[in-house]
Structure 1
């Protein structure tokens, strides 16, 4: 439906339409006013039969930030006006129910046979089916393709409007050699809005706060979004980091579409801080070593053509800084591993209508739209100019990937049918979602001297997606040595390092599943694993007379527990491992569902839950136990159905809050009540058994009275769980919620004879003078200028090994060693036995680093420091994580531990009744 324009909005539009920016230098002298789309590309001639944005939406491009619904209306209008050259496709629905689309723009003959184009690209993508001669024939006739991704971060607003302008320009332009060339040689795919939920959050905020006229002052409320900002989606995920584990529906649909067409060039259009200019490829160092030199060279071709047009328009830009090509989980890096050349474009953001830069220039919304529009056309032209080269390079990428897999010492990766069936299954089906060929063994086999049972998953890297498998399954992907040498040099000089994001992402480590490699191909009868293959649940002895037992330790058993509790089934859990009379062993935490304690239809309920969750269930006709606690022992607890609350809003980290809520609600299938943080200071929390404080500094939001309120609630039987920075807050003297302390950086003692930090005062009457001293080396200079008490150096993100106490009920069913992401510089003293217990801690210095790059001093100091802390208080307890166990929703290997800290902890608390 059209927007109903209010009087205030009408005034704003009138004012906006008067704003102009200074004209650009020759030879393309364009104005950035919003009066007409044609001014964004000088001398363009547009056909009257293609509707303008003004004709469809009632405002000129740049006068308003286009909403999701208006974007849909405009693309639908274009598709109606030119159905032979543009088609729209749905690729999913957001959590909040908004439609996700992409558009394909091509010459009529290509568009009419788009499915054939897809089929031909699939042929070209597999040299095992398509030989070189056949590939050359395809390359002669196929168009190249470019995929333009817009607004994955909802408050990066300009690219969606640029997407509309790009589509309009391609369809409406007449007598233009550039556009004719693009249609002759290229299919242009446009994903106009990757994150509608976040964008609408931003737009609603912006137009609710803008005044009689928009302000350019960066202090103005319209330029300062409230929590959680529009960057993230409904579950507050940064979806540009979701490409590895595909947790969000927006990402899943997008990946499926990209795999269908495998476009040759993929560009992700972003915004950055307003005082910058424009960034495009080549990317900064480091570059992922599994990218090919050809891909990097093709990115340079893209960048050079962008630069040509930016020079003509007089746009500033930069390359090879800040935005690197190392992490494979971005929208601009994931496509490289099916053979595309992919890139990030970043434009300085007005974050609204206009923004005053520190140099006094006024940056307008239409400025940012125009730059993305120009870059998009330049990129499409590059795809057209180099059609044959891009397709040839794409085919050769697949050939090289298969050869590399055959020659590799780790040709095959094997996920055994281990105790964590759910984890292995999830990882195998995830790889299938990525377009990787995964097979499951139909019978037992041996490989490289190790025996595997039937059901093991096998991935051969001698396949087109082999490089992708290598970069996700290899334990360590190294940054290049010159880059690391430079980072160590910068660190020694007390300069910030240039590591942009996490340096580790090995999926087997993050999922905490066993993974083995072999240098041979695996020859065993097997079947292909599909992306939607269900995990098969099983109930042995479905008509049990006494109880149903569910081994604890994977997410299938976890989801069995939550499903049972939500259906009102009475469930017990053993604090210790036990062995039944028929010699079956069950780990600590295993679930016990007694027949007599539940309703008559229990057997049917158990069977249905097992089918739904993939849980492995065994019915027993006797409660006799030959080792460990009996079903009626005090070492078994009755599981409760806890009401779980979570702090929400400032000062929580929106990402941590959203990631944690997602994990609990969507992976655990358990509801969470979000409560504004400030309300926790005085709220009556007696209705809740568990309260989670996501990462954040709550000292101001809660104050001493809030901390006292939480303490009292815990003493009455509540379970308080603190994550990451919230544990730091909980450890402060004013909060006094957990008896640990944050550590400063460890400094080795000074050598004998080194000058004291407290130099003697001279005899001068000037109290600011001190006695002279000698500095004999650069190292001594550094030691003299260091702050005596400072925090450890910041770590960008590594995977670290964590050792787990196997004799505490809080870690029942958790493996002896798990892996955590470590980011930042928080390290804590171990809790004393008089106060509680360190139930998980980082490994020793030698074994601490599982993957990634970590400063040596941090590795030394972090060794044996606590990861999970338990402190009983009255009838309840405080449980502190010193790192974030739900980061990006991809640390599945910590989910059982997190479930324990919610459900087993609630069962062990003794709230007053």
Structure 2
């Protein structure tokens, strides 16, 4: 990545020098009018540089790279600095600059920071009265934020962003532009995912032929793994707005919280045979959205429709793209008070595309549609400036009042002592989102419970209260009518219309015990910021015998990985133990014996504790009165394993990216990515752990690959399979896990012939109802119905070394249709299983039949094999890297499992 940054810097410097030189030698041009055809009958000021002048091609003629995009915006800023300002808000993982442009009248651009300050005032009715707010609303411009290209291979929006900026600056005879600039500030984020776009463009132009092919079968339209959609760590960043794991997302959230734009539009692409989607959104709608926000979206949608009718563009609304999940780029701004929406255009996925109807679409077409929609949106915002600003202010008023009236969940309390690192991560995450979080400086009582100093407090009677409610409340319900329709469709054997997960409660995802109190909590406290550090400490730093790190949170986990990489010798206790002075330590506790390490071990331990936030206790005696002693075989020496993971097709890129991210960026431990088909024949003796992320490995590995993995495991390797990889491992011809997936449970049979019958004819039968018809045409042996995404309760075996330090109850995301029969004791153990049918659903909407069949079925499987073992997760514990509550269990599967295997060292 360092090389990438250096090269990028040199290229950028060279481009800047070239641009400066060109500008210095070119005489000023007269302000003669020029024309573009993307908005007919508009004349443009030639003093504003065109696409052709800066880049050598017309708008929509070629797919613009990250570097060319920067050049174009920099040229616009040089030409009209009083009306456009360019700002950097972050860098991608690969070091590419992330920018936004602010465009408006000279007065509004000059006073950007005052605008931000005024929006902060308008966003807080506790400091701004209704009268003061009305005064601000009369003078403040409204603002629209246009987000482009969060998916790197959804290409047209970036070129549309460039055209939007040019049009706003150069159009000379446009009443629409005049009205926009008079009443709004337009913010343009032209490329949210430069790493993914660069990956796509590298593929596309490297494979283009004499003429660009529109054939969907051509290489032009078939990207290789992992495709350009995701960023460097292969994240779908449109799902990262809750956990905020990626730097691109964090930078964007910070600047949105600063300006609080009143309308936010996220511009995407969909399949090339589709037309254009804009608001109103499809059902279900998040119940914490206001009717005013929905009404504003309707106003914007109607104005879009007017222009699309004028241009002859087809479109659709109220289908597919809902407004339920709060973790999208179009929904997250809703919960600070913006009116926000997704726009989707049929993609050419290149310079040309032939639809199924035979129509040939050029790249300029989706570019123009996004551009027209952007201008129509900005005009609607300008025309409804006061209403939109008034609704923004009222949203804050309503949020505070709603919080005050809540007699059940006004205040959420995170008792930090239960999971110090997890509570800190959740508290600082909420602060990142702009939520006011306090940390108690002293002990206090609230709603009948006593809390120690250090507990985190979040009062929902604040402007961001609705965001707290939608992310902290255990259950957010979809509308009853929508659920009823989905059940009707399912009964008719039709696909449901649920677009994404139906559950996302952050305390559940993080496995953090969170208490709710129906009143305000008053206690001396300090404000928590996104950058508030987790304080580590060493109790009794001058201990003479050992240092102990209680296991069970990620502070201890990061202490382990740092210690291993620093060459520190340490052990981990398989069971809880009690020292002679009655100090109790949980299973998994790390033991660093002073005599086994170098003389500077005290300084090393203190340094790692400070860096990781871990709590370390020094002890002067190793006398244990309960549980394993330090010298017991149950105090297992920890070693630094070499970890490999499958990469490339057929691995799921999202699972592979999230798994690698969790290992490298949350565990802070290196991993080697190996192409999946290489694993079929590779000598893996260098590695102690191999992870197969979710994926369909049948063709890439097959029986030969399974045999290679099986021999490696028998020699002491630890194989970890996630989700669909567990399905592969469980196949009878693969033989890596002795479990089977279940068919759907049916109490009775329809009596019809099974699909695939070898008979040419079947017995005659009478069909007397439509219900009987549906039963007959249904396969007798089918998988359970697909689940879009719910949170499920999982019970954890507390008497196995693999679950050391893990809570008795955790929560997992459940997606898909795989349900496994329990493993027999002769083969291994079911170490975690889904809860009873009445308790299994933690949050979301789960089909009743799945809920009943999922009960007591395995989540975590452990199967010894020779000197090694296979560990199977039936669901993906690293999904979206937001299941922080499963990190200790996953870490055990890597590091404690490697310590318990018996390879030849």
Deviations 1:470-515 (Å, cap 9, x if unpaired)? 0000000000000000000000000000000000000000000100
Deviations 1:719-758 (A, max 9, x none): 00000000000000121101001111111124xxx75548
Moved over 3 A (4+): 1-5, 754-759, 767-772
Alignment deviations for residues 545-590 of structure 1 (CA, whole Å, 9 cap, x no partner): 1100000000000000000001000110000000111211111000
Does the 8 A contact of 1:279 with 1:318 survive in 2? yes
Residues 714 and 720 of structure 1 are in contact (CA less than 8 Å); yes or no, is this contact kept in structure 2?
A: yes
Aligned to 1:839: 831
Aligned match of 1:164 in 155, 162, 165?
162
In the other structure, the counterpart of 2:534 is: 535
Give the direction of change, closer, same or farther, for the CA distance of 1:476–1:43 in structure 2 (3 Å limit): same
- Provide the secondary structure at the position in 2 that maps to 1:40: coil
CA distance in 1, matches of 2:751, 2:858: 35
Alignment partners' CA distance in 1, 2:13 and 2:201: 13
Aligned-partner Cα distance in 1 for 2:410–2:904: 59
1:665-711 CA deviation, whole Å, 9 max, x = no partner? Answer: 00000001000001001000000000000111111101211111000
In structure 2, what is the equivalent of residue 222 of structure 1? Answer: 220
1:259, distance to aligned residue in structure 2 (A): 0.5
Instruction: Write out per-residue CA displacement over residues 521-563 of structure 1, whole angstroms, 9 at most, x where no aligned residue.
Output: 0011111111100000010011111100000000000000000
Q: Equivalent residue for 1:830?
A: 822
Q: Does 1:136 align with 2:134?
A: yes
Look up the match of 2:94. Answer: 96
Give 1:743-754 correspondences, 5 Å limit: 743-750=742-749
Are 2:562 and 1:570 aligned? no
Structure 2 Cα separation of the partners of residues 391 and 419 of structure 1 = 42
CA contact (8 A) 1:37 1:61 kept: no
Corresponding position: 1:652 with 2:651: yes
Aligned equivalent of 2:82: 84
Q: Tell me the distance in 2 between the aligned counterparts of 1:685 and 1:772.
A: 58
**Which runs of 5 or more structure 2 residues have no equivalent in the other structure?**
1-10, 16-33
Among 350, 353, 359, the residue aligned to 2:351:
353
The 1:2–1:557 alpha-carbon spacing in structure 2 relative to 1, beyond 3 Å, is: closer
Counterpart of 1:877? Answer: 869
Name the residue aligned to 2:497: 498
Cα distance, 1:772 vs structure 2:
3.8
The answer for the alignment partner of 1:19 in structure 2 is none
CA distance in 1, matches of 2:883, 2:355: 40
Does structure 2 retain, via aligned residues, the 8 Å contact 1:2–1:57? no
Aligned to 1:694: 693
Is this contact kept in 1: 2:142–2:261, CA < 8 A? yes
**Structure 1 counterpart of 2:171, from 173, 181, 186:** 173
Q: Is the 8 A contact 2:35 2:42 kept in 1?
A: no
The answer to whether 1:813 aligns with 2:805 is yes
CA contact (8 A) 1:37 1:60 kept: no
Q: Which residue of 2 aligns with 1:272?
A: 270
* Aligned position for 1:554: 553
Q: 1:755 to 1:608 in 2, by over 3 A?
A: closer
- Rounded to whole Å, the distance in 2 between the matches of 1:536 and 1:788 is 58
Distance 1:787 1:612 in 2: 57
Task: From 789, 807, 815, give the equivalent of 2:781.
Answer: 789
Other structure's SS at 1:232 match? coil
Alignment partner, residue 335 of structure 1: 333
Residue from 847, 853, 856 that aligns with 1:855: 847
What displacement does 1:877 show? 0.4
Q: Gaps (5+ residues) in structure 1?
A: 6-35, 762-766
CA contact under 8 A between 1:333 and 1:343: conserved in structure 2?
Answer: yes
CA–CA separation in structure 1 for the residues paired with 2:882 and 2:527: 25
Aligned mates of 2:891, 2:764 — CA distance in 1: 61
Secondary structure (helix, strand or coil) at the match of 2:43 reads coil
Deviation (angstroms), 1:770: 4.8
Measured in 2, the distance between the counterparts of 1:497 and 1:795 equals 10
Q: Distance in 1 between matches of 2:752 and 2:250?
A: 60
Separation of aligned partners in 2, 1:780 and 1:293: 43
Partner of 1:707: 706
Counterpart for residue 681 of structure 1: 680
Partner of 1:373: 371
Pair 1:722-2:721 in alignment: yes
What is the TM-score of this pair, normalised by structure 2?
Answer: 0.95
5 Å matches for 1:18-97? Answer: 38-97=36-95
CA contact (8 A) 2:418 2:513 kept: no
SS of 2:45's equivalent in the other structure is coil
Q: Is the alpha carbon distance of 1:134 and 1:3 closer, same or farther for their aligned partners in structure 2, counting shifts above 3 Å?
A: closer
- Aligned position for 2:30: none
Report if the CA contact (8 A) 2:152-2:196 is conserved.
yes
8 Å CA contact retained: 2:663, 2:671: yes
Q: C-alpha displacement at 1:451, in angstroms?
A: 1.2
User: Matched residues in 1 for 2:51 and 2:645: separation?
Assistant: 43
Which of 882, 887, 899 is the aligned partner of 1:890? 882
CA–CA distance in 1 between the matches of 2:698 and 2:44?
59
Taking only aligned residues, the RMSD between alpha carbons, in angstroms, comes to 1.4
Q: CA deviation at 1:784?
A: 1.5
Report the counterpart of residue 29 of structure 1 in structure 2: none
Residue 241 (structure 2) aligns with: 243
CA pair 57-720 structure 1, distance change in 2 beyond 3 A: same
1:471 equivalent in alignment to 2:455: no
Which deviates further from its counterpart, 737-746 or 466-475? 737-746
Contact 1:440 1:529 in 2 (8 A): yes
Specify the SS of the correspondent of 2:42.
Answer: coil
How far has the Cα of 1:3 moved from its partner? 13
Correspondence for 1:617: 616
The 5 Å alignment of 1:571-610 reads: 571-610=570-609
Aligned residues of 1:743 and 1:827 also touching (Cα < 8 A)? yes
Comparing 783-792 with 100-109, greater Cα deviation is found at 783-792
Contact 1:269 1:344 in 2 (8 A): yes
**What is the match of residue 29 of structure 2?**
none
Aligned to 2:360: 362
Aligned counterpart, 1:23 = none
**CA separation of 1:4 and 1:60: change in aligned 2, threshold 3 A:** farther
Q: Does structure 2 retain, via aligned residues, the 8 Å contact 1:798–1:849?
A: yes
2:485 is matched with 486
- Indicate conservation of the 8 Å contact 1:283/1:321, yes or no: yes
1:787 and 1:84 map into 2 onto residues whose CA distance is 68
Counterpart of 1:558 in 2: which secondary structure? helix
Counterpart contact for 1:755–1:773, Cα < 8 Å: no
Equivalent position of 1:213 in the other structure: 211
Answer yes or no: is the 8 Å Cα contact 1:144–1:186 preserved in 2: yes
Distance 1:722 1:620, change over 3 A: same
* Distance in 1, Cα, partners of 2:623 & 2:774: 68
Distance 2:14 2:76 in 1: 22
Matched, 1:294 2:292: yes
> CA, structure 1 residues 781+629, in 2 after alignment: closer, same or farther (shift >3 Å)?
same
Q: CA deviation at 1:105?
A: 0.2
Contact 2:471-2:504 within 8 A present in 1 as well: yes
The 2-side partners of 1:755 and 1:376 are apart by 57
- For 1:152, the equivalent position in structure 2 comes to 150
Match of residue 314, structure 2, among 316, 319, 326: 316
Mapped partners of 1:60, 1:901: distance in 2: 54
Cα displacement string for residues 605-655 of structure 1 (whole angstroms, at most 9, x for unaligned residues): 100100000000000011011110000001110001000000000000000
1:125 to 123, 126, 138: 123
User: Structure 2 CA distance, aligned partners of 1:699 and 1:543?
Assistant: 56
Q: How does 1:375-454 map to 2 (within 5 A)?
A: 375-408=373-406, 409-454=408-453
Q: Secondary structure at the match of 1:312?
A: helix
Q: Distance in 2 between matches of 1:325 and 1:477?
A: 13
Aligned position for 1:25 = none
Aligned to 1:912: 904
